[in-house]
Structure 1
Amino acid sequence: MKKILIISDGAVGEHFIRRVLQTHTSENIYYIVELRAKEYEDVNPARFKFYNFDPTSFSKLSNLLKMEFVQVIIAMDNQVEIENTIKNINLVKAKLRVIVLTQHNLKNEDANVVIVNSNEILASRLLDYLPNVPVIAQNVGLGEGEIMEVLVPFGSSFVYKHIGVIEQKNWRIVAIYRNRKLIMPSRRRMIQPNDQLVLVGEPTVLKSVYRAIKRELGEFPEPFGSNLYLYVDMTLVNLTTIEELITRAVFAHKKFKHDLIIKVVNPSNIPILQYIKDLRNTNVIIDIEYDSRDLEDVFHKDIKSYHVGLVIVSGDMFAHDRTRKLLYESHVPILKLSDKPFSSIKEAAIILGDNRDLEKISATIFDISEQLGFNLEIYNYLNEHQEEKEEVIEHYYSLATIFSKNIKVIKETQNPIRMLKKKDNFVHILPFTQKLTKNRIFSIFSTDSERLYYKLDNYHQIFIPVQL
């Protein structure tokens, strides 16, 4: 939860607070300081805290600033009071970002203070109504959210990614602002911390992109979803190992600290069903599908209704072609569990392919390895296309610096799958692309390590979709 401080005194500040009250986000807590108390309707006390005192009083404001705010917004009428309030904030939190709405020409040399001049905004809006005058960017488009500007935070999943490897379906990065300069995007352009990205696309898609850009380490399975979903088809799962499968799924559930839903379809074994039902006492949601309905339709509805961000299946189920295609169509990460212990894993292994897909999913890989406590090993098969692979390795080293995560790059002159099959236990992480939905028989003579994923069936595997 992000704490935001709003300091208001005047009609504009009061109107702003009423607009904030109408927003439907659960990610922010607002602390509102007013000189005089005002009446507001439909106030959520969990999200809005009101204080009544003079913000130019250093002792009172400094006491409130003991909390960790991410931002302060000031909307006051009196210029002197605004200046004194900013001074008080700087004395306590010199690096705190402060947004000031004013109609006065305030002089500002502090990089952390942003001045929003209301007169300039009104004049700019009126200018849009003049004939034969080009419209400035802030009012271009339908005004429905199809144009968006996003600040890339330091720990973002987009930092140090090449634009060419970012899947841009129904949206585009059309401009980058860096150090107050416009940079035109290209496939080889790398995104850096504090870049301002201008995005154009479908409003609903841009909302997801915004969340993805703002996502930082420790939030997986976001932005794919928020809950874990163990999918058990009793016609496909080895019933003798189902208890171990559930135990490993519960372990993952505790590590990621999100709800676990156990979905059982085609129920056939009464003792096992009773074992699963008994898990209700452990805060696990049990959903058993007794009807012989279209299970594909049921699965996709569950992904949406439960807001699933990670699907967990057994190796038997993932080996089934139709089920694997169904999992791919869900567009969420898949954890395929093997018969090996899961809680004792120390390493996550990735094999560099001849494409850039591993760069697309890099932030998710770092997030998973951080939350589960895995060391990250990158296997570089020294065949052709080394130039692109070196760029991917450079990207991973950059992320390792940001996230303070050690990585190990291992160079191999033969297919790394042979070496990995000699290891005792690890988790194999790879992109989940459409080529993995094909029948395994078609990849017998392939040299593509991703298509040969089943050669490591005896190990746990995580398949991450490359699109948002």
Structure 2
Amino acid sequence: MKKILVISSGTVGEHFINRVIEAHTNENIYYIVQTKEKEFENASPARFKFYEFDPTSLYKLSNLLKMEFIQVIIAMDSQIDVENTIKNIRSVKKQLRIVVLNFWNMQSEASNVVLVNTNEILASRLLDYLPNVPVIAQNVGVGEGEIMEVLVPFGSSFVYRHIGAIEQKNWRIVAIYRDRKLVMPSRRRMIQPNDTLLLVGEPAVLKSVYRAIKRELGQFPEPFGTNLMLYIDMNIINHKTITELVNQAVYVHEKFNHDLIIKVVNPGNIEILEYIKSLRTFNIIVNIKYDNLNIRSTFLNDVSRYHVGLVIVSCEMFADYYVRNSLYEVHLPVLKLSKKSLSGVKDVSLILSDNRDLEKISATIFDISEQLNLNIELYNYMNEHQENREQVIEHFNNLSTIFSKSIKIYNESDNPIRRLKRKENFIQILPFTNKLTQRHIFSLFSTDSEKLYHKLDEYTQIFIPVQI
């Protein structure tokens, strides 16, 4: 049995003793010192020993300290009494661990004196009641935010998503609270509005997840980043198409209303460079590198420096195997522009596959379609494998109700790629997964519509990473 000394005076000390009595632990024996005796109901005589004396008296306290205590807890309402009590304890037991309830912002350099600041505790607890601030478990684990509680608002991108379709890398949904009842999560469980999710994971990752859960339409490219970057490698792109490429990027910049960075490497045409420089404004930044560079040597630094959330490239650049892999490695959305004008686009087109990756990026799809004022079309190639696709369709129908945005669903017996090639113009959105980084030759005999994305190269495509 471990002996713990509790020195108490005042209301907070009394509350603490009551909580200890209610804890129902039989592992400890508590020796309670009070300056004024107070009786506590349900205090077991076998576990609680009460004393009434002034702990600032060295003579009286030293007699009690002849026993071997593993810890002292001080909850007193006078700073002078606390300081003298600590001094008395130190004169008898120099290494005994002391935990002090600190009302006065006291400071101590001793490693075995723990000062529990009441102002910080109260402020932190009040912070938990603010809207749009994550509730972090402070007395569980290491208390750095690895356990978080998040309320899912009605317009959240997580509403009506199946837990199995949410990419959970370095974090997990471990519990759902619905109508003040615990609901255990499963892959087929669907998140409802006003659910409270209990999350466990790396603190930095959970902060990103929190922002993603609270995000509503009109925020893209958040939470991936803030700004747009048009990346031009003049060794790869046909110089005759660069001017139109830049104009389309400026159009996207105006639609999303975020800063645009035009990054040019390996410049080789003075006239084009002068045109790009002429576009400089407060919201359009031009960065030209005259050294011979490749995307891998500069891309990561540029993304971090400008807090990029959407990368814009040409069809030729995305077709380059090494460029495509570099784009994938940063886990950012990529807008691959084509020769077709964006201003005439009316639809966002999605081809359902046998996986559920489209459900993982559904909120981003609705966000993009809302900001560009586009309709959403789902193309379902009818075959024997329909279970996953039906769940994705269910999810998109639910989101269309939430965001008051209609969608069209086409059940196709023919290959949807052939159907789309007959459309005049549209934007295709695809999950940006590792299989898109493979060389095109490996997809020649594939039936996976995502691997065959290059069959629709003549149209604008947006690739969204499935990870948050």
Counterpart position of 1:171: 171
Mapped pair 1:395 → 2:408: no
2:411 maps to a residue whose letter is K
Task: Report the secondary structure of 2:280's partner residue.
Answer: helix
Where do 1:265-414 residues align within 5 Å?
Answer: 265-281=265-281, 283-293=283-293, 295-414=295-414
Distance in 2, Cα, partners of 1:295 & 1:288? 13
**1:137 to partner: Cα distance:** 6.4
Output the CA distance in 2 between the equivalents of 1:286 and 1:138. Answer: 45
Task: Tell me how many residue pairs correspond in the alignment.
Answer: 338
Q: Deviations over 1:165-216 (max 9, x none)?
A: 1111111111111100011111111111111111111111111011001100
Whether contact under 8 Å (2:348, 2:369) holds in the other structure is yes
Equivalent-residue separation in structure 2 for 1:464 and 1:331 (angstroms) = 8
Alpha carbons 2:351, 2:378 under 8 Å: kept: yes
Q: 1:418 deviation in Å?
A: 0.2
User: 2:236 maps to which residue?
Assistant: 236
Paired residue secondary structure (1:445): coil
TM-score by length of 2: 0.70
| Aligned partner letter, 2:193 | P
Gaps of 5+ in 1: 1-117, 126-135
Displacement, 1:282? Answer: 6.6
The residue aligned with 2:155 is: 155
- SS in structure 2 opposite 1:383? coil
State the shift of 1:294 in Å.
5.8
Query: How far 1:262 sits from its partner (Å)?
Result: 0.2
Q: Distance in 1 between matches of 2:208 and 2:137?
A: 22
Instruction: State how 1:50-449 maps to structure 2 within 5 Å.
Output: 139-281=139-281, 283-293=283-293, 295-449=295-449
Once residues 281 and 390 of structure 1 are traced to their aligned partners in structure 2, the CA distance between those partners, rounded to angstroms, is 47
CA deviation string 1:354-386 (max 9, x = no partner) = 100000000000000000010000000001321
Q: CA deviation at 1:295?
A: 3.7
Output the CA distance in 2 between the equivalents of 1:207 and 1:281.
33
Residue type of the alignment partner of 1:174: V
Residue number in structure 1 paired with 2:71: none
Kindly indicate whether the alpha-carbon contact (under 8 Å) linking 2:138 and 2:144 is maintained by their aligned counterparts in 1: no
Structure 1: distance between partners of 2:138 and 2:464: 36
What's 2:461 paired with? 461
One-letter amino acid matched to 1:148: M
| One-letter amino acid of the counterpart of residue 159, structure 2 | V
Query: Structure 2 unaligned runs (5+)?
Result: 1-117, 126-135
Change (3 A) 1:445 1:245: same
Distance 2:281 2:158 in 1: 40
1:96 matched residue in structure 2: none
Question: What displacement does 1:292 show?
Answer: 3.1
What is the 5 A alignment of 1:1-20?
A: none
Give SS of 1:231's match: strand
After TM superposition, give the deviation of residue 238 of structure 1 in Å.
1.2
Q: Specify the code of the residue in structure 2 equivalent to 1:394.
A: E
Greater than 4 Å deviation, 4+ residue runs:
none
More off after superposition, 284-293 vs 366-375: 284-293
In the TM superposition, residue 330 of structure 1 has moved relative to its aligned partner by: 1.4
Over alpha carbons, which structure has the higher Rg? 2
| TM score, norm. by length of structure 1 | 0.70
What is the percent sequence identity of the aligned residues? Answer: 70
CA distance in 1, matches of 2:284, 2:221: 17
* CA distances 1:402-454 after superposition (whole Å, capped 9, x unpaired): 00001000010121000100010000111010100000001001110000000
1:107-147 deviation line (CA, Å, top 9, x unaligned): xxxxxxxxxxx9xx98xx9xxxxxxxxxx965111111111
Q: Using a 3 Å threshold, how does the CA distance of structure 1 residues 191 and 200 change in structure 2: closer, same or farther? A: same
Secondary structure, in 3 states, of the residue corresponding to 1:394?
A: helix
Q: Give the aligned residue type for 1:224.
A: F
Aligned partners of 1:165, 1:267: CA distance in 2, in Å? 43
Q: Supply the distance in 1 between the matched residues of 2:249 and 2:292 (Cα, whole angstroms).
A: 25
